[in-house]
Amino acid sequence: GKKVLITAGPTVASIDPVRFITNKSTGKMGYAIAKEARNRGANVTLISGPTSLDIPRNINFVRISSNEEMKNAVLKEFSDSDIVIKSAAVADYKPRTYSEQKIKKGDGDLELAFTRDNDILLEIGKKKQNQILVGFAAESQNLKENAKSKLNKKNLDYIVANDITASDTGFASEDNKVIILSKDGLEINLDKMSKEKIASNLFDIIAQKR
Ligand code: CTP
């Protein structure tokens, strides 16, 4: 009966009518979380960037592309959510200008300038009231230290930290190896396991606390 809001997948920033930048997120972790929440009887909204995954049944599904679209969709749902889990890989920068025309090639190099985009989780962390807020931290170095600093900076209750340099886990893999940290100092090192099992462990941890 709880209302659970989940974000998943990458966001996309357009450069011109044919080009864009994005990242390697496949959405698998977020979709696994959405299905687990649904199976446990939650009322689930999944806000997703472009992925090749099937849309899970019996949830509210919102398809977005850009950082701005994800932000607007999250803000619409946030105030009456009980649990918010942000597994999306949100682009931090977008091209400073969008070219209405296709950028033509020249003889030399091309330089693009980027401008900062919204940190959605930071913004909703500031608005947090009774929601349980869960973030993810994708790190290639100083995993625990960087994850702890995101937990504090973004006013989270939990953060799921994963080392993206391991070749058999993380982006696009079936498995992941994560550490779950809480604002109360809890630290749970999960073994390498499927994303479905991680989702189940995550809800066990959240449910024990409440
Ligand atoms: N996040 C977000 N908006 C952004 C960037 C990240 O909402 N513009 C959220 C992600 O969904 C994730 C958490 O913040 O839950 C951490 O994302 P991550 O990419 O690991 O870190 P960043 O805050 O972007 O920091 P950095 O890129 O410097 O590691």
Say yes or no: CB of residue 147 within 6 Å of ligand 1: no
**pLDDT tens digits in sequence order for the chain, 210 residues long:** 999 999 999 999 999 999 999 999 999 999 999 999 999 999 999 999 999 999 999 999 999 999 999 999 999 999 999 999 999 999 999 999 999 999 999 999 999 999 999 999 999 999 999 999 999 999 999 999 999 999 999 999 999 999 888 877 667 678 889 999 999 999 999 999 999 999 999 999 999 975
Q: Is the pTM above the cut of 0.75?
A: yes
Q: Is 20 helix (H, G, I), strand (E, B) or coil?
A: strand
- As given in the structure block, the two tokens for residue 119 are 């940190």
DSSP 104: P
For residue 155, give the DSSP letter: T
**Closest by Cα among 71, 85, 95 to 29:** 85
**C-beta of 148 in contact with ligand 1 (< 6 A):** no
Q: Does any ligand 1 atom lie closer than 6 A to the CB of residue 119? A: yes
Mutate to test the pocket of ligand 1, among 6, 47, 121 (most ligand atoms within 8 A of CB): 121
How close is the Cα of 10 to the center of ligand 1, in Å? 11
